[in-house]
Amino acid sequence: MDLTRRAFALSSAALAASPATATPRAKPIVIAHRGSSGERPEHTAMAYRLAVEEGADFIEPDLVLSKDGHLVVRHENEIAGTTDVAGRPEFAARKATKVIDGERIEGWFTEDFTLAELKTLRARERLPQLRPASARFDGQEAIPTFQEVVALAKAESARTGRAIGVYPEMKHPAYFASVGLPIEARLAQALKDAGLDAEDAPVFVQCFEVEPLKTFKTLSKARRVQLVGAQTPGMVDAEGLKQIASYAHGVGPDWSLVIPTAGGALGAPTPLVSQARALGLEVHPWTVRAENRFLPAMLRSADDPAAHGDAGAVLKALYAAGVTGVFSDFPGLAVRARG
């Protein structure tokens, strides 16, 4: 067993222990959401490396597919917002309008480009008005493949002497299957090739869609996490959690499903964490961001949506509620709040 797997197996065993037997209980993991995406353009090598420097335990790549079937790392398959594709005259004719998960979207899509073509593009900050400091790094890096992110995590594990895991999300798998590019088997094979096809491997596979996770269960031993949005709270009621426990190892709810924000303030925790943990599920809420734009009114520092408010209060409330991990665009902040 290599350094990454050995270190991760020890921490994973502690995390899996029940609250009554874990002595001491393992700290919640910090998941760098698209890397340190509050400080560098998301899904770039520099964002992932900064996240590791800031103490993240996992780095998160969102996975979409190229025309020739390669797993590439972008938040969405529409890439005008995160690359320079719209300004590239050689690709002007690729602009298209598609319906993805019921939403009509205009732009440029990864499935219309080969990997070689995607590699000519350069990444840029998706939210430049909120994150101008990050936008200064626009144009410096290419779109990474999933294999490159895994290699980065392994290299950083060896460099730092601590296990750096990967936490890939299958994006729009039903849509990709509909255009002849199913993602589940490709990801399962990539994990096998990387030596990560094991329940104690430093990897979680996440998805909002249920059936792809169930399919993935038949293809890989890697742990699975069901993502749940704030608009579907029924998925994480007592019965919904039982259903999730039948095919997944964990649940990733919008953080407001753990700590409600009625009236613009943080409320008392919901039963979600205790109910999920009683079923043996990990609980990894998403996504804590520092900007006022993403915080409840009582935690904002000013009227400026780009200014940072008290995101630490959200993180501390989540940790106090008993979550076993948390996603953040600012992993350094999440590490400091964890203590």
For 201, residues 6+ apart whose C-beta sits below 8 A from its C-beta are 5, 8, 191, 195, 221, 222
* pLDDT one-digit tens code per residue, 136-157: 999 999 999 999 999 999 999 9
Specify whether the CB–CB gap between 223 and 204 falls below 8 A. Answer: yes
pTM of the entire structure? 0.93
Query: What DSSP assignment string belongs to 261-285?
Result: -GGGS--PPPSHHHHHHHTT-EE--
Kindly name the residue from 43, 75, 249, 284 that is annotated as catalytic. 75
Q: Is 308 among the residues known to form the active site? A: no
- pLDDT digits over 247-276, tens only? 999 999 999 999 999 999 999 999 999 999
Burial class of residue 60 in the structure, from the number of CB atoms within 10 Å of its CB (0-12 exposed, 13-18 middle, 19+ buried): buried
Sign of CA pseudo-dihedral 47, 152, 251, 276: negative
Q: 75 an active-site residue? A: yes
CA–CA distance, 123 with 100 (Å, rounded to integer): 22
CA distance 182 to 186: 7
Domains of the chain, earliest start first: 29-75+131-338 (3.20.20.190)
Reading the block at residue 153, the tokens are: 């995590």
Q: Is the pLDDT confidence value at 115 over 70? A: yes
pLDDT (0 to 100) of residue 2 = 53
CB neighbours of 89 closer than 8 A, spacing ≥ 6?
none
